[in-house]
Structure 1
Amino acid sequence: MSSNSVEIHLSNSTMGFSTTTYEDETIVYMCSNDESIKFGAAAVPFFYYTVFTLSLLGNGLILFLLLKYEKIKTVTNLFILNLVISDLLFTITLPFWAFYHSNEWVFGNGMCKVVSSVFFIGFFSCILFLTVMTMDRYLAVVHAVSAARTRKLIYVYVASIAIWVISFVSTVPKFVLYGTRKHDSAGILCEETGFSADKIDTWRRLGYYQQLTMFFLFPLIVILYCYTLIVVKLFNTKMHNKDKAVKLISVIVLAFFICWTPYNVVIFLRLSPGDPCNDYLNNAFYICRNIAYFHCCINPFFYTFVGTKFRRHLSALLGTNCLSMFRRSSSSSRTSEYSPQTIYE
C-alpha cells in the first residue's frame, strides 16, 4: 500500500462518507493485525454471548426485585439502580461485538459509532459507580453518625449526574474516531479510522492514559483506602460475625484487582516503546480485556445478594425458602452493631 495514496472505505448510510483518496497523508491503518483478528474471532464470540446471557439474567433479576419489592428512593437502592443500568448498557452491546468478531461489521457506520459509544458509556460508568458506592459504604460504616445527616437523596442525584456526565464526555472521542473501513482479508471493520495515523495514535494514547488514571488507579486507591478503614472499624466493634464481613470485603477487593490489573498492565505496555502491532501483546489484550469486562457484569451481585433483603425478595419470588442456610448467621448478628449483611444494605 502506497503512503501517498490511501483509500478509506466508509459506509455512507449515516455519515455520508464514500471512498476517498488522500494525497500526502500518513497511512491511516495502524496495523494489519491479521493474527490477532483470527485469535479474536476464535476466542471472543463465545465469551461475549456467555457474559451477555449471564449479565442479562442477573442484572435483569436484580432490577426486577428492586422495582417490585424495594423503595427506590433510598441512597443504597438508587446507587444499585444506576449500577445495574450501566451494566445493562454495557451488556446490550456484546452481541454486536460477538457477531463482529466472528464475521465482519454489517450494521453500518452509524451503528458502529452508536454501539461503541453505548459500550464505553456503560463501561466507564460501571467503574465510577463501583467507586462511589464504595465511598458511600465507607461513610455509612466508618462515619455512621455524621453520614446519617449527610447521606440524603440530593447527594445520590448529584453523584449520579456527575458520573453519567463524565462517562458521556469520556466517550465523545470514541464516537468521533470510530467508524467502518474495509480490510483486505477481514472485511468491514469497526474501529478508529477516518483520520491520519498520527491523530489516531495520539487519541488512542490519550484514551489509554485516561483508562489507567481515571478508571483504574483512582478507583483502586479509593477501594483499598475505604475498605481498609471499614475493616479496621469492624474489628473495633462487638460484631459477632466480623470474620464473614472481612472475607466478603476481601473477595470484593480481590475480584476488582484480579479482573482489572492484567487489562491495565497490557494497556501500559501498549503505551511503552515497542512494536504496536505485536501479536502476542494484542492477543493478551483480548484475553485481559475479556476478564475485565466480565467483572462489569458480576459486580451487582456483590452489592445485592450479600444482604438478606434481596435473598428474601428472591425467596418470595420463587416461593421457596432461600434464607434457611443464613438464619443462624442472621439471628446471631441481630445484637451486634454491624453484620456482614448490613455492610451492603
Structure 2
Amino acid sequence: MASTTDMMTTTSQNLSIDYDGVPTTTDGEYDYEGLMCDKLSVREFRGRYEPPLFWLITILGGLGNLAVVWVYIHFRHRVKTMTEIYLLNLAVADLLFLCTLPLWAAEASQGWSFGEGLCRVNLALYKVNLFSGMLLLTCISVDRYVVIVQTTKAQNSKRQRLRCSKQVCLVVWLLAMVLALPEFIFAKPKLTEDKEYCRMVYPGNKGNHTKIFVLSLQVSMGFCLPFLIMGFCYCVIICTLLKTRKFEKHRAMRVILVVVMVFVFTQLPHNAVLVVEATQATNITMTDCEQTKRFDVVGQLLKSLAYTHASLNPLLYAFIGVRFRKDVVRLLQAYHCWPSKGQLSKVGKPLSGSMRASVMSDTDTTQALSL
C-alpha cells in the first residue's frame, strides 16, 4: 500500500495538464493518475467548440487586417508616422497568427495529421506573432506618449523617429523569434489514445522546470511588460489631455479606455490560467478529476478569448481613425464597391491635390489624439 502511494506521489509531481485534457508527464507518457481520469469529454468539447470559433476569428480578423495592409499599400506609398509603421507590422503579425488557427481547428476535430515539422513551425509561428503583436502594441502606446506628452520634442525629431521606428520593428521581430525558440525545440506530435496532438513535450527530469520557465516567459513578455508600459503611457496621456482644451480630448480618452479595457479583458484571464498552469507544474494542487476537467474547459474558453484580440486590433487601432476610414471608402469607390459622387483617381496613380491633402495633411499630434 505504501509503495502504491509513493508511486502516485511521484507521478503526480511530473503531471502537466494541457487545455485539451491530455495529461502527460515531462517525457510525454501517461501518468498513473492520468489513467484514472478520462478526459474524453474535454477533447470532445474542444472538437465541437474550437473549429467554428477559430474559423470565425480567422475570417473576420483576416478581412480587417488585410484591409489595413491593402490601404497602406495603395494609398500610403510613403508611411509618414511611427504609429503607421507599427500598425502595418501589427497587421502582418496578426495575419501570420491567423494563418495558424485553421490548423488548430483541424487538430481539435480530427487530431494532428500534418507531421512534426509543421507542428514545430505552427506552434513557433503562433508564439512569434504573440510576442511581436504585444510588443508592437507597446510601441504604439510609447509613440502616442511621445507625440501627445512631449509634443515639441516629437515635432523636432519627426524624421529621426521615423527612421528609428523601422529599426524598432526589426528588433521586435528578432526578439519575438528568440522568445519562440522553445517551441521550435520542444514541440512535437504526441499520441493520445488513437489521435496525435501537437504539444510541447519537455524531456528529462527537469522538464517541469523548463515548462515553468517557458510559461513565465510568455506571461512576463507577452502580457506583464506590455501591460505595465501601456498602463503608464496611457495614464500620463490621460493626465495630459485633461489639461488641454482640445475638443478631441474627450473622444481620445474614451478610445484609450476602450483600448486598455479590451486588452485587459482578452489577455488577463488567459494569462491567469497560464500562471495556474505554471503553479501546477511546480506543485500539483488539483488532483480531483472533475476539477481538472473544469480547469481544462475554462482554459480553452479563455485561450479562445485571447485569440479574438487579433481580429479586434484593426478596429481598435486603424478603423477607429477618421483618416483610415476615409481611405477605405476611397479604395472601395475606386473598385466600384461603394457609391461614388465624383471621378476618383485610379488606384496606383498619384492622388489628386485635394485628396492628397486630405490623406497626408494631418500632423502626428492630430492623429494621436484621434487615434
TM-score range, shorter chain: 0.7 to 0.9
1:34 CA drift (Å): 3.4
Of 283, 286, 299, the match for 1:275: 286
Report the counterpart of residue 10 of structure 1 in structure 2: none
Query: Cα deviation per residue 1:257-279 (whole Å; 9 max; x = unaligned)?
Result: 11111111111122223138712
Q: Distance in 1 between matches of 2:97 and 2:149?
A: 32
Answer whether contact 1:212 1:264 (CA < 8 A) is retained. yes
Answer whether contact 2:145 2:233 (CA < 8 A) is retained. yes
Cα 1:193–1:208, aligned 2, differ >3 Å: closer, same or farther?
A: closer
**In the TM superposition, what are the counterparts of 1:217-296 in structure 2 within 5 Å?**
217-272=224-279, 273=283, 274-275=285-286, 278-296=292-310
Percentage of matched positions with identical amino acids: 25
Answer whether contact 1:72 1:78 (CA < 8 A) is retained. no
Partner letter of residue 96 of structure 1? Answer: L
1:70 CA drift (Å): 1.2
Q: Distance in 2 between matches of 1:312 and 1:190?
A: 43
Q: Distance in 1 between matches of 2:150 and 2:173?
A: 27
**In the TM superposition, what are the counterparts of 1:125-204 in structure 2 within 5 Å?**
125-151=132-158, 152-185=161-194, 187-193=195-201, 195-196=203-204, 198-204=205-211
1:309 aligns with 2:323: yes
**In the TM superposition, what are the counterparts of 1:324-343 in structure 2 within 5 Å?**
342-343=368-369
Q: Distance in 1 between matches of 2:140 and 2:200?
A: 33
Q: Distance in 1 between matches of 2:329 and 2:276?
A: 47
TM-score of the superposition, structure 2-length normalised?
Answer: 0.77
Partner letter of residue 110 of structure 1? Answer: G
TM-score of the superposition, structure 1-length normalised?
Answer: 0.82
1:238 CA drift (Å): 1.5
Report the counterpart of residue 17 of structure 1 in structure 2: none
Answer whether contact 2:130 2:222 (CA < 8 A) is retained. no
Query: Cα deviation per residue 1:52-87 (whole Å; 9 max; x = unaligned)?
Result: 001111101111011101144422221111101110
Of 42, 48, 51, the match for 2:54: 48
Answer whether contact 1:216 1:264 (CA < 8 A) is retained. yes
1:26 CA drift (Å): 6.1
Report the counterpart of residue 104 of structure 1 in structure 2: 111
SS at match of 1:28: coil
- Where in structure 1 are there 5+ consecutive unaligned residues? 4-24, 323-333
Q: Distance in 1 between matches of 2:187 and 2:176?
A: 17
Report the counterpart of residue 83 of structure 1 in structure 2: 90
Cα 1:81–1:42, aligned 2, differ >3 Å: closer, same or farther?
A: same
Structure 1 ranges of 4+ moved more than 3 A: 25-35
Answer whether contact 2:28 2:201 (CA < 8 A) is retained. no
1:60 aligns with 2:66: yes
Count of residue pairs brought into register by the alignment: 308
Cα 1:321–1:241, aligned 2, differ >3 Å: closer, same or farther?
A: farther
Partner letter of residue 171 of structure 1? Answer: A
Cα 1:344–1:204, aligned 2, differ >3 Å: closer, same or farther?
A: farther
Cα 1:137–1:177, aligned 2, differ >3 Å: closer, same or farther?
A: same
Query: Cα deviation per residue 1:86-144 (whole Å; 9 max; x = unaligned)?
Result: 10110111100001101111111111111111111111111110011111111111101
Q: Distance in 1 between matches of 2:365 and 2:119?
A: 48
Superposed CA RMSD in Å reads 2.6
